[in-house]
Amino acid sequence: MRRRLFLSMLLPAPALAQDLRQALARQFRDQLQPFGTWDELPDLGPAWRPEGVPDGWRPFSRGQWRWAREAGWYWQGDLPFSDLAEHRGRWRLAAGSWWWLPGSRFDPAPVAWAAAGPGRIAWAPLPSADGTATGWSVVPLAELTLVPVPARPLPDTDGLRRRAPPDPAEIEAAGGRVREPVPLASLAAAEDVHAWYATDSRSVRGIGTPAFRPSPPGPTPAPSGPAGEDDAWQAFERQRRLDLLDAERRRELDRERDRDRLR
């Protein structure tokens, strides 16, 4: 099996990725069907579009930001599909609508972060294969932890500067207030928490050991984790590699079932 797994990695990645997307679409179809429509998009495969969302809606714009002890920022969406579609997969804007592309890896906060001018913070869904983040939301840094977060669309992205997730001390220094950190298990399902630990998501998100410092002395400290314009792309590449391995494991299981039926 190890030899077959190694050889499978030499196969074209798009074929394996397409197989995985189809399998994940079957897995999540019933969960998302009541809240939107499934379709096949050219070059993207199976995708799901939410229905009944407000005009101008974009992913990660309706909800609140919480600070989890183990993971840092966690997006707690208000919509019935948020627990699934805003923590797995990727979002893509196509033909004027937001479409969700199935993915297997759980992420507490699958967004890219950026500075949007003095005292303002912006975030957007992590990009899909083209590596371009769109659908930015912006708030003053002090308002990031309001409930719900008063996210505003950011049509002009020329002045954005990609950065690491904001540190709680940064928000306090800007005049905001961060609630006490809570365990990730109080925000996400147990299986999602286990999956997060298994895939070492802290290194993917650019978060080191999360620190909660509600009363920072002196100047604003630097944000936790490494900053860099390629953070989002590295996260996408990591998920793509994990998804390819997952796809091959699924294919191998299917082959074993076929062999058992033929015996």
The answer to whether residue 252 sits within a structural domain is no
Count structural domains, the chain. Answer: 1
Residues 6 or more apart whose CB falls under 8 angstroms from that of 66 comprise: 73, 74, 76, 179, 182, 187
The answer to whether residue 167 sits within a structural domain is yes
Q: 182: which DSSP letter?
A: B
C-alpha span between 212 and 202 (Å, rounded): 16
Residue 89: CB atoms within 10 A of its CB come to 28
The answer to whether residue 247 sits within a structural domain is no
The answer to whether residue 227 sits within a structural domain is no
Q: What's the gap between Cα 48 and its chain centre?
A: 16
The answer to whether residue 235 sits within a structural domain is no
The answer to whether residue 180 sits within a structural domain is yes
Q: What is the pLDDT along the chain (263 residues), one digit of tens a residue?
A: 444 444 344 445 556 567 778 888 999 999 999 999 999 998 889 999 999 999 889 999 999 999 998 889 999 999 999 999 999 999 999 989 999 999 988 999 999 999 999 999 999 999 866 668 999 999 999 999 999 999 999 988 888 999 999 999 999 999 999 999 999 999 999 988 888 887 754 534 444 433 444 444 433 333 333 333 344 445 555 665 666 666 666 666 666 666 666 65
- In this prediction the pTM is 0.72
The answer to whether residue 187 sits within a structural domain is yes
The answer to whether residue 105 sits within a structural domain is yes
In one-letter notation, the amino acid at residue 214 is P
C-alpha span between 244 and 253 (Å, rounded): 14
Residue-number span of the structural domain to which 56 is assigned: 2-215
Q: What six digits make up the tokens of 223?
A: 């944000």
Sign of CA dihedral 227, 70, 123, 134: positive
